[in-house]
């Protein structure tokens, strides 16, 4: 096929020898099957901000690292410079997540390099060497569904032990390879310790997996793996080998709402005070980037 414009520099530099075919066109990127020497790989070409459709909002941005205080303020203000910083952070988020998770042993495609908005990575294939099917395109018997559900819960735990939550996990971004499920599409992955929405995202990821496999093994629907996992994580007790039950014993003790609100108000006031002190300390710096 004709080499796409965004891939031509990689061909010119010898990183790609040939573009074989288009694999997928998605809301945030286009994926191509490419040949690199004797290896068949895939190249994920991220779309420009004005051409993509993904929910790149504050829920996912919270807790992501920026290079300094000026960049953080620019992001908050939404200036032109801030938008540029947000775009660069978005582009690097999946790359950083893939390298981090691959190093932690999570089942993700092996990243092979990131070049000017193009992620080069392993192509996940089936037994015949064709692109592996998505989880949502495969049907299972009840026993296999239970087994694979357990595998996916294990992968979610392993991701959390590495400090990340997928944030958009479903049957459409898990591939079924010869050795089992492989998790893909991670640009929205969030820092579990730095994002206040991390638990709700984890719960949605777990629920999506339980509901999908629950089509074949109905007893999986309604299990409480998310709460169990998060409770262990919050207590510093979660490990990759932790045995889970999918059940949570909830306390019947009444919550002191007034005391809880005082704690929240104190935390908010402390946060505002920290922001004021930081602003005063930086008042002598140069004006915002525009």
- Residue 32 sits at φ, ψ, to 5 deg, of -125, 145
Domain assignment present for residue 272? The answer is: no
Is-catalytic flag, 205? no
Domain assignment present for residue 240? The answer is: no
CB neighbour class for 254 (10 Å; exposed up to 12, middle 13-18, buried from 19): exposed
Domain assignment present for residue 188? The answer is: yes
> What CA–CA distance (Å, rounded) separates 104 from 19?
31
> What CA–CA distance (Å, rounded) separates 202 from 163?
12
Domain assignment present for residue 93? The answer is: yes
Beta strand 29-36 with 190-191: parallel, antiparallel or unpaired? unpaired
Domain assignment present for residue 3? The answer is: no
Placement of tokens 């629920």 in the chain: 207
Please list the pLDDT of the chain residue by residue as tens digits (290 residues).
899 999 999 999 999 999 999 999 988 899 999 999 999 999 999 987 655 554 445 554 555 554 455 555 544 555 565 555 666 666 788 899 999 999 999 999 999 999 989 999 999 999 999 999 999 999 999 999 999 999 999 999 999 999 999 999 999 999 999 999 999 999 889 999 989 999 999 999 999 999 999 999 999 998 999 999 999 999 999 999 999 999 876 655 566 677 767 777 777 777 777 777 766 666 655 454 45
> What CA–CA distance (Å, rounded) separates 279 from 283?
6
3-state secondary structure the chain: CCCCHHHHHHHHCCCCCEEEEEEEECCCEEEEEEEECCEEEEEEEECCHHHCCCCCCHHHHCCCCCCCHHHHHHHHHCCHHHHHHHHHHHHHHHHHHHHHHHHHCCCCCCEEEEECCEEEEECCECCCCCECCEHHHCCCCHHHHHHHHHHHHHHHHHHHHCCEECCCCCCCCEEEECCEEEECCCCCCEECCCCCCHHHHHHHHHHHHHHHHHCCCHHHCCCCHHHHHHHHHHCCCCCCCCCCCCCCCCCCCCCCHHHHHHHHHHHHHHHHHHHHHHHHHCCCCCCCCC
Domain assignment present for residue 241? The answer is: no
pLDDT at 264: 72
Domain assignment present for residue 169? The answer is: yes
Residue 209 lies in domain? 10-234
Answer whether 28's CB lies under 8 Å from 54's CB: yes
Q: What's the structural domain count of the chain?
A: 1
Cα–Cα–Cα angle for 266, 270, 276, rounded to 5 degrees: 145
Catalytic position from the list 168, 205, 224, 256: 168
Catalytic position from the list 127, 185, 224, 266: 185
Residue 26, domain CATH: 1.10.510.10
Is-catalytic flag, 30? no
Domain assignment present for residue 25? The answer is: yes
> What CA–CA distance (Å, rounded) separates 186 from 173?
9
> What CA–CA distance (Å, rounded) separates 283 from 288?
11
> What CA–CA distance (Å, rounded) separates 131 from 3?
20
């Amino acid at each position: 096929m004709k080499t796409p414009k965004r891939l031509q520099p990689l061909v010119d530099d010898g990183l790609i020898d040939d573009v074989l075919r288009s694999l997928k066109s998605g809301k945030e990127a286009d994926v191509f099957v490419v040949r690199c020497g004797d290896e068949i790989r895939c190249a994920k070409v991220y779309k420009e901000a004005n051409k993509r459709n993904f929910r790149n909002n504050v829920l996912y941005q919270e807790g992501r690292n920026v290079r300094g205080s000026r960049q953080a303020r620019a992001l908050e203000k939404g200036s032109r410079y801030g938008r540029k910083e947000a775009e660069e952070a978005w582009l690097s988020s999946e790359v950083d997540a893939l390298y981090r998770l691959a190093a932690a042993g999570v089942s993700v495609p092996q990243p092979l390099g990131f070049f000017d908005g193009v992620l080069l990575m392993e192509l996940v294939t089936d037994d015949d060497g064709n692109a592996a099917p998505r989880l949502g395109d495969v049907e299972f018997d009840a026993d296999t569904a239970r087994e694979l559900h357990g595998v996916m819960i294990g992968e979610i735990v392993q991701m959390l032990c590495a400090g990340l939550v997928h944030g958009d996990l479903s049957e459409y971004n898990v591939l079924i390879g010869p050795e089992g499920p492989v998790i893909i599409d991670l640009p929205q992955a969030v820092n579990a310790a730095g994002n206040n929405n991390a638990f709700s995202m984890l719960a949605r990821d777990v629920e999506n997996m339980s509901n999908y496999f629950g089509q074949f093994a109905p007893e999986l629907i309604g299990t409480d793996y998310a709460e169990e996992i998060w409770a262990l994580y919050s207590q510093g007790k979660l490990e990759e080998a932790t045995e889970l039950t999918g059940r949570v014993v909830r306390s019947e003790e009444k919550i002191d709402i007034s005391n809880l609100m005082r704690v929240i108000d104190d935390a908010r006031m402390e946060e505002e005070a920290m922001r004021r002190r930081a602003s005063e300390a930086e008042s002598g710096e140069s004006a915002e980037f525009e």
